[in-house]
Chains A and B, each alone.
Chain A
Amino acid sequence: QKEVEQNSGPLSVPEGAIASLNCTYSDRVSQSFFWYRQYSGKSPELIMSIYSNGDKEDGRFTAQLNKASQYVSLLIRDSQPSDSATYLCAVKNYGNNRLAFGKGNQVVVIP
């Protein structure tokens, strides 16, 4: 089992709709969870961090964490064409400073 899994294929959403991305992780003691946005040819940009169970909202982004089920999700409300990018889920390993990344999900927002 991979450390961090993002299984969904490319996601196409109409402008103004909600984009939903999911991520599961295997290390039960992981404590820190992150979502990065990466535009083509650019470096990853941190958009959300979450440490506790529940929801965390920042603008149009909401991160949800469920440690019992070992998943973390990202919702993008009122999706805009500028949200078209690859979204990477990352989980910090316990005991070191290493991040484990999922393979990423491409989101395409259709005007």
Chain B
Amino acid sequence: DTEVTQTPKHLVMGMTNKKSLKCEQHMGHRAMYWYKQKAKKPPELMFVYSYEKLSINESVPSRFSPECPNSSLLNLHLHALQPEDSALYLCASSLRLAGGLPHYEQYFGPGTRLTVT
């Protein structure tokens, strides 16, 4: 099973709202990611959690706040977003151990289509 789930599928929010995106994986992966993707562009990395600790923050504005409650869950808290933040937000997971060796295949969830009005 290579499933990563994300909720909600679609989200419309005003610039003063607070909302959260949720992501879950049950593959035993030890790294989880948030990406932002605009139309006709590749995914743009935002955050990486490795072993439940934030290991990479790609200079993301503080209106985006990640949280990793446990090894299977990843949240992205949104506050005071701008219309230019409208995009597809993708969660992904990777890093499993097999035969004592790390495997880095990264699997994406279906994404949350976010519209900021």
Contact = CB atoms under 8 A, between A and B. Distances in A.
Interface string B19-59: 00000000000010100000001110100101000011000
Interface of A is mostly: strand
Among A46, A88, A90, A99: residue with most chain B CB under 10 A: A99
Interface string B91-117: 000110000000011111111000000
Interface residues of A, number: 20
Contacts of B45: 98-99
A44 B43 contact: yes
When A and B form their complex, which 5 residue pairs have the shortest distance between CB atoms, in order from nearest?
A101-B42, A43-B108, A97-B31, A43-B111, A32-B104
Interface of A: 32, 34, 36, 42-46, 49, 88, 90, 92, 96-99, 101-104
